[in-house]
């Protein structure tokens, strides 16, 4: 198979581990995520995966309930560690070797993030699961994903979400919403109100020319198709013209 991208940063939001639960981790959902990842792993794509934590804890929500924001953010980072371990378990159950690296030191459960080591793991055919985001508060795992994607020299940041791309308006509220096939970073950043990805993370990708692909993980063979360069989701780059799907 011809793959368009050799090394990818895959950002998996915590919600993908929810299954039917309102909160927490459903091991079956983790297995479904793992199965999708395996489909590109077997095509020899190098994968660095940044795990979110929103299914367990988000700093902003903690702050609303009276916890100091920085403390709440550290709690959110710890949530990503739990998710990362759940996904490691699921991936290894289906024969995909992994390593978990954490931006917060936690030697008993994960390696510490070391850039060159992460690259080596990928070269040796291991999926590197990056947890604890950036290791600092006041940002989200989207920023962790763009930073790690850049330093690990990934060809693309693939953001797996619940919606199948970026729309001109909220598709759940407006039936006439149209999906973008391609979008310039400039236009994506202007559409601030449309919650696709943190603007700070998008701006970093724009400045450093790392394209972003927004797609729905559980829809058909989306991940494999996206890797082949087929039209799934929305591709955001400095090198395209903004256009809608037909
Ligand atoms: N977080 C943080 N710094 C980081 C990454 C994450 O403080 O570099 C915290 C933040 O509180 C965030 C939570 O961890 O809300 C969980 O991550 P996120 O909300 O990005 O998870 P996702 O929406 O991807 O599931």
Which numeric CATH code is attached to 7-244?
3.40.1160.10
Residue 162, pLDDT score: 83
Q: How far is the CA of 176 from the centre of ligand 1 (A)?
A: 32
Mutation to probe ligand 1, out of 73, 102, 144 (largest number of atoms < 8 A from CB): 73
Residue 42 — pLDDT band, cuts 50, 70, 90?
Answer: very high
Residue 52, pLDDT score: 98
Average pLDDT, the chain: 94
**Nearest atom of ligand 1 to the alpha carbon of 139:** 3
Separation of alpha carbons 32 and 37, rounded Å: 9
CA distances from 170 to 34, 193, 196, 200 (A): 29, 10, 11, 21
Q: How far is the CA of 1 from the centre of ligand 1 (A)?
A: 35
CA 173, 63, 148, 37 dihedral sign is negative
Residue 231, pLDDT score: 86
Separation of alpha carbons 37 and 217, rounded Å: 9
Burial per residue of 45-78, b for 16 or more beta-carbon CB atoms within 10 angstroms, e otherwise: bbbbbbbbbbbbbbbeebeeeebeeeebbbbbbb
Residue 65 Cα to chain centre, angstroms: 27
CA 210, 213, 214, 219 dihedral sign is negative
CA distances from 119 to 102, 104, 113, 115 (A): 14, 19, 11, 6
Ordered by start, the domain boundaries in the chain are 7-244
pLDDT digits (tens, 9 = 90+) for 200-226: 999 999 999 999 999 999 888 899 999
Separation of alpha carbons 17 and 21, rounded Å: 9
pLDDT over 90, % of the chain? 84
Report the range of poorest mean pLDDT among 145-154, 180-189, 192-201, 225-234: 192-201
pLDDT digits (tens, 9 = 90+) for 26-41: 999 999 999 999 999 9
DSSP state of 179: B
**Nearest atom of ligand 1 to the alpha carbon of 136:** 3
Q: How far is the CA of 118 from the centre of ligand 1 (A)?
A: 21
Separation of alpha carbons 217 and 11, rounded Å: 10
- The region, left, alpha or beta by phi > 0 then psi within -120 to 50, assigned to residue 202 is alpha
15 phi and psi angles, rounded to 5 deg: -60, -25
pTM, to two decimals:
0.96
Question: What does the pLDDT average to over 14-22?
Answer: 96
Residue 238 Cα to chain centre, angstroms: 20
Residue 43, pLDDT score: 93
Residue 193, pLDDT score: 56
Residue 173, pLDDT score: 87
């Amino acid at each position: 198979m011809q793959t368009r991208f050799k090394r990818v940063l895959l950002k998996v939001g915590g919600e993908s581990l929810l299954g039917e639960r309102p909160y927490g981790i459903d091991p079956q959902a983790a297995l479904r995520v793992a199965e999708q990842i395996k489909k590109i792993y077997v095509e020899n794509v190098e994968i660095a995966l940044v795990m979110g934590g929103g299914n367990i804890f988000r700093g902003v929500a903690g702050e609303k309930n009276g916890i100091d924001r920085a403390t709440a953010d550290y709690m959110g980072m710890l949530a990503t560690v739990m998710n990362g371990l759940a996904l490691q378990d699921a991936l290894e159950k289906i024969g995909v070797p992994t390593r978990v690296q954490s931006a917060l030191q936690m030697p008993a459960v994960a390696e510490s993030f070391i850039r060159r080591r992460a690259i080596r793991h990928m070269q040796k055919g291991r999926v590197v699961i990056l947890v604890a985001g950036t290791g600092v508060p006041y940002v989200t795992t989207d920023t962790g994903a763009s930073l790690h994607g850049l330093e690990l020299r990934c060809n693309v940041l693939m953001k797996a979400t619940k919606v199948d791309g970026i729309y001109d308006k909220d598709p759940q509220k407006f039936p006439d919403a149209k999906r973008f096939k391609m979008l310039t970073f400039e236009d994506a950043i202007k559409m601030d109100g449309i919650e696709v990805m943190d603007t700070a993370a998008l701006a970093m990708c724009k400045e450093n020319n790392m394209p972003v692909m927004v797609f729905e993980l559980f829809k058909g063979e989306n991940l494999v198709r996206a890797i082949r360069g087929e039209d799934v989701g929305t591709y955001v780059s400095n090198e395209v013209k903004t256009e809608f799907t037909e």
